[in-house]
Amino acid sequence: MTYHLYHKAPDWLGPAVSAALAIPYVVVEASHAPGRAHGRWSLGYCAAAAAIQAADAVVTLNPRDEVGLRELIDRSRRLHRLMPFVDTRENAPPADRAAQRVRVATELGLDPALPWLVTVAMMRGGDKLASYRLLARALAGLRSRSWQLLVVGDGSARGAVERALQPLGDGRVCYAGARDGAGVAALLGACDIYLWPAVNEAFGMALLEAAAAGVAMVAGDEGGVGTIVRDGVNGRLVAARDPDAFGAAVAALLDDPVAVRKLGRAARRLAVAEHGIDRATRRLDRILVSLRSGRS
């Protein structure tokens, strides 16, 4: 089994080893980009394509990858979809949200009477920094409103992230730094709306963790983000890379706290029903068992 196979990370060994041992070869979260057939990535492109074609099963987590993969896979039964998944028990909402807000407010100096917006992401250059900068532009138009933004994460681009968010105003943005899984879940469970523009995002595991914590979401419609955020159901899915649309969606939720709570409950419900690790385990088990028994 090979994970995340594409032109920058081809699998040189898997097909040959699987053939030599006469065992099934499985690829999880592969992608095929014909635009990389020529140029600096051409060698990796050809190797990745050959591995995908050799696979007995290709498991996708992002439905948008399937379009390119179908150019290589001649039998649809070799292509299997697995919904993005998370341990919904570890990311469950707190039993007493009010008490949790008090604890977080005490630790970080937040005002529990204000709406808390939250984002969780590594601070690095490229798409992550682009998302932070887009978020800053989206929230700049909401400075006349009452809210606080909690930023969870750290990294080499922290200075650039802080500079991007600085115009939002002193005391408006709180940096919690990097946290482990339990620490992130504890913070998410105390917040009201999760925000992430999702520039060039595959699907966004942090979005899924927010959903499992019962937090309403606003996200940009890129990659497979739409498999997690359903517009009007568990959050707002807005046009990709559009700060005005993003800001308008946040403003609408700030004006409707009842809707925020409703979306948060739906987010938790859908996360448990469709994105739980137990469901993913059963699905993957069926795929692997079918290969072992020669039915795929």
Q: Which of 242, 229, 237 is nearest to 274 (CA)?
A: 229
For every residue of 2-62, DSSP letters joined together read: EES-BTTB--SSHHHHHHHHT---EEES----GGGSSSTTHHHHHHHHHHHHH-SEEEESS
* Cα(66)–Cα(30) distance, integer angstroms: 9
Backbone phi and psi for residue 215, each to the nearest 5 degrees, phi listed first: -110, 130
At 294, is the pLDDT very low, low, confident or very high (cuts 50, 70, 90)?
Answer: low
Nearest to 203 by CA among 225, 183, 185, 221: 225
- Could you tell me which residues come within 8 angstroms of residue 194 by beta carbon, excluding any fewer than 6 positions away? 117, 118, 119, 120, 188, 206, 207, 210, 215, 216, 217, 218, 219, 235
Q: Say if residues 117 and 236 touch (Cβ distance below 8 Å).
A: no
177-230 pLDDT tens trace: 999 999 999 999 999 999 999 999 988 999 999 999 999 999 999 989 999 999
Q: Please choose, from the candidates 290, 225, 280, the residue with its C-alpha nearest in 3D space to the C-alpha of residue 88.
A: 280
Phi, psi of 76 (to 5 degrees): -60, -25
Residue showing tokens 């800001």: 247
Model pLDDT, residue 202: 87
Dihedral sign for Cα atoms in the order 198, 261, 244, 64: positive
- In tens, the pLDDT along 236-250 reads 999 999 999 999 999
Chain segment 91-103, per-residue pLDDT in tens = 999 999 999 999 9
Gap between the Cα atoms of 55 and 79, Å rounded: 10
Residue 174 has pLDDT above 90, yes or no: yes
| Residue 226: burial class (beta carbons within 10 Å; 0-12, 13-18, 19+) | middle
The confidence band for 296, taking pLDDT boundaries of 50, 70 and 90, is very low
DSSP designation for 74: S
Domains and CATH numbers, the chain: 2-85+276-292 (no CATH), 97-274 (3.40.50.2000)
pLDDT over threshold 90, residue 261: yes
Tell me if 225 sits within 8 A of 208, measured CB to CB.
no
Please report which confidence band the pLDDT of residue 77 belongs to, taking 50, 70 and 90 as the band edges: confident
Amino acid at 173: V
How far is it, in rounded angstroms, from Cα 255 to Cα 212? 24
What are the start-end ranges of the E strands in the chain?
2-3, 26-28, 57-60, 79-81, 116-120, 148-152, 173-177, 193-196, 216-220, 235-238
Strand 216-220 to strand 193-196: parallel, antiparallel, or no bridges (unpaired)? parallel
Instruction: Supply 139's token pair.
Output: 């929230």
Please give the average per-residue pLDDT across 133-140, as a whole number.
98
